Amino acid sequence: MLDLMPSLAGWRPVASGERCAVATIITASGSVPRPPGTSMLVSESGEILGSLSGGCVEGAVVASALEVMADGGTRLEAFGFSSEDAFAVGLTCGGELEVHIQPLDGSAAGFGALRKFAAGDPERPLALIRRINGSAAAKTVPGSALGAAGSQGAGTQATASADPPTVVVVPDPCTFEAAGSAELAAMLGLDALNLDAGARRETLLAAAAQLEPLLRGGRTGLVRLAPPHGCGGVPARGGGAETSPEPVTLLVESRLPQARLLVFGANDFGAALVPAAKLLGYRVTLCDARPAFAAQERFAAADEVATGWPHRYLAAEAAAGRIDARTVICVLTHDPKFDIPLLQEALELDVAFVGALGSRRSHRQRIDGLLEAGVAPERLALLHSPIGLDLGAVTPAEVAVSITAELIAARTAAAACTPLRDGTGPIHSLPAGGTEPASGGTEPASSHQPALTTEQASQEIAWT
């Protein structure tokens, strides 16, 4: 549902207090248009915000959402591909989705906290924890960290509620402490159980073990929790009849601040990479030691432009805590006096990706320089050089596509793509009208590849 938050505050049904239902993909397999966590809101008047499949199943989901608002319950709908029934609702791409549909009260108790956070910065950290089993109408409360206002200490009993929340808003996913959250305890139904302090804390710690990695990692996923005391009965509070709590299923959606992408090199390739990286959602910084180059208007799309020696800038950012495990570093300076000290600094950091532009000849010279500078071979193995996927890219725009493609491929081991660093031979087989390898390699040119244009040949300089 986080994908709808930027549009939520201005959506008319929310502003007017209409009842709504939220439909969310909770599991997906095979080829599907959208990932788990994608949501669509349907108002009682039939207005829609968002999309789940691009049109394959929306009609059936809207119908179920209207029924949910009428009966107050929740539903779990499954959609797949049916080759037997041509008129069945399903996914023509062959995948399968499970969609959870629940009512969301249009009052302040339901949408109030969501509306408050939707009106803020769309890039601020935020997480939602939603209970997706149980039939109670959704009630939303803001979460809080251990010891903050509204939370209770570990092992204490929160005030019992007849209508426990099924949505908890977490303003800071990186610091949220599940074991100290009274709101989470209420969502899990612990307030209605006669648990001692130890059993209560044990249940919350078990929840924290699954919830907090998702929250701190900025990920979406399902968390299934066993009920307290297993599947056996638990005496109700106040000496009532014994209850048999059911397992709890939670959907966690977490959004962290934008990951940073640092572009070193105010040149044609940097100018192309800055807007391409922003399309992937990165917060982009351009850094160059030459003020006259960094100040060019073509770098205005960068979120920050820094002037200074690249390795000093990176060291200062790391010391200030502004570099983390999601940070991407792209070295496009193509000058040993910048590249070597910068890569020496970058390869010692715990970051997601370090890549450097250049031909294979440049790469070999770069590796020799880094070894002489004392960089350990195991750290050199982390370097993506030459940077980019093997797409045959030549112009700055094409190189930007090649680099961003490798960034996407590097996120998963399942990507069936070949990085340039894993190949052999020159990056470009033929210069303009010639037969010699453009990067100075000794491999023969491929006879079926066309000669480079004059424009492409001029761009070859940056790769050699």
Has residue 145 got a pLDDT over 90?
no
Does residue 317 register a pLDDT over 90?
yes
DSSP-assigned letter for residue 190: G
Neighbouring residues of 147: CB distance < 8 A, sequence distance ≥ 6: 153, 180
pLDDT in tens, 174-222: 889 988 888 888 888 887 777 788 888 888 898 999 999 999 888 888 9
3-state secondary structure of 36: coil
Tokens representing 203 are 């249940």
Burial zone of 279 (CB within 10 Å; 0-12 exposed, 13-18 middle, 19+ buried): exposed
Q: Assign 434 a pLDDT band (cuts: 50, 70, 90).
A: very low
132 pLDDT band, cuts 50/70/90, is: confident
Task: Name the pTM for this structure.
Answer: 0.66
Q: Tell me what the mean pLDDT of segment 261-272 comes to.
A: 97
Spatial distance between the Cα atoms of 400 and 278, rounded to a whole number of angstroms: 11
- Return mean pLDDT, the chain: 78
Tokens of 437: 């390898």
Residues whose CB falls within 8 Å of the CB of residue 25, separated by 6 or more in sequence, listed in order: 32, 34, 35, 36, 37, 38, 39, 52, 97, 98, 99
**Full DSSP string of 209-278:** HHHHHHHHHT-EEEEEEPPTTTTS-EEBGGG--EE-PPPEEEEEEEEPSPPEEEEE--SHHHHHHHHHHH
pLDDT in tens, 283-302: 999 999 999 999 999 999 99
Contacts of 177 (CB under 8 A, 6+ apart): 145, 146, 208, 212
Beta-strand relationship, 383-384 and 304-307? unpaired
Q: Which has the higher per-residue pLDDT, 133 or 430?
A: 133
Query: Packing angle between helix 268-279 and helix 396-409, nearest 10 degrees?
Result: 40
DSSP calls for 114-125? HHHHHTS-TTS-
Q: What is residue 423's predicted lDDT score, i.e. its pLDDT?
A: 65
Residue 344 CA to chain centroid, in angstroms?
28
Taking the C-alpha atoms of residue 174 and residue 432, their distance in angstroms, rounded to an integer, is 53
How many angstroms separate the first and last alpha carbons of the chain? Answer: 47
Backbone angles phi, psi at 303, to 5 degrees: -70, -35
Q: How many CB atoms lie within 10 A of CB 232?
A: 10
Following CA atoms 255, 353, 438, 450 in sequence, which dihedral angle do they give, to the nearest 10 degrees? -30
SS3 content of the chain, % helix, strand, coil (to 5): 35, 20, 45
